[in-house]
Amino acid sequence: MKNAWIDLRAWRQFVAVAEELHFGRAARRLHMTQPPVTQAIAQLEKSIGVRLFERTQRRVSLTPAGEALLPEARELLARAQSLPERARAAAAGEEGRIRLAFVSTIGFEHLPTWVRDFRSRNPHVALELVEATGDVQLEAILRGEIDAGLMLHSPGFAPLGLERLKVLDESLVLALPAAHPLARSPKLTLADVLREPLVIFPRRIVPSLHDAVFALYRGAGIEPQVAQEAIQMQTIVNLVWGGFGVAWVPESVTQFQRAGVVYRGASEFAPTGRRRRPDPLPTSETSLVWRAAEDKPALARFVSYMAEAVV
Write down the mean pLDDT value for the chain.
89
Residue 93 has a pLDDT of 58
Residue extents of the structural domains in the chain: 4-91, 96-167+286-309, 171-282
pTM for this prediction: 0.70
Write down the CATH number for the domain with range 4-91.
1.10.10.10
Pairing state between β 96-102 and 148-153: parallel
Alpha-helical segments (H) within the chain: 8-20, 23-29, 34-48, 64-91, 104-107, 110-121, 134-143, 190-193, 207-219, 233-241, 297-309
Residue 281 has a pLDDT of 87
Q: Residue 76's Cα: distance from chain center in Å? A: 31
Domains 4-91 and 171-282 share a fold: no
| pLDDT above 70 (res 21) | yes
CATH of the structural domain 96-167+286-309, one choice from 1.10.10.10, 3.30.700.30, 3.40.50.410, 3.40.190.10: 3.40.190.10
What does the pLDDT average to over 55-59?
A: 87
| pLDDT above 90 (res 246) | yes
Question: Residue 269: pLDDT band by 50, 70, 90 thresholds?
Answer: confident
What does the pLDDT average to over 35-49?
A: 90
Residue 170 has a pLDDT of 93
Give dist(CA 175, CA 167) in Å, integer.
Answer: 24
Distances 114 to 31, 121, 307 between C-alpha atoms, Å:
52, 11, 11
What does the pLDDT average to over 181-193?
A: 89
Question: Residue 109: pLDDT band by 50, 70, 90 thresholds?
Answer: confident
| pLDDT above 50 (res 35) | yes
Say which residue, 293 or 292, is predicted with more confidence: 292
Residue 156 has a pLDDT of 84
Q: Give ∠ CA 251-202-287 in degrees, rounded to 5.
A: 50
Residue 274 has a pLDDT of 63
Residue 216 has a pLDDT of 92
Nearest in space to 38 (alpha carbons), one of 62, 14, 74, 8: 14
For the chain, percent of residues with pLDDT exceeding 90: 64
Question: Residue 280: pLDDT band by 50, 70, 90 thresholds?
Answer: confident
In this structure, of 6-20, 91-105, 219-233, the range with the lowest mean pLDDT score is 91-105
Residue 175 has a pLDDT of 96
Question: Residue 57: pLDDT band by 50, 70, 90 thresholds?
Answer: confident
28: helix, strand or coil: helix
| pLDDT above 90 (res 226) | yes
Summarised one tens digit per residue, pLDDT across range 77-105 is 888 887 767 666 556 556 789 999 999 99
Summarised one tens digit per residue, pLDDT across range 124-170 is 999 999 999 999 999 999 899 999 999 999 998 877 789 999 999 99
Residue 4 has a pLDDT of 46
Pairing state between β 60-62 and 247-250: unpaired
171-282 carries CATH number 3.20.20.70? no
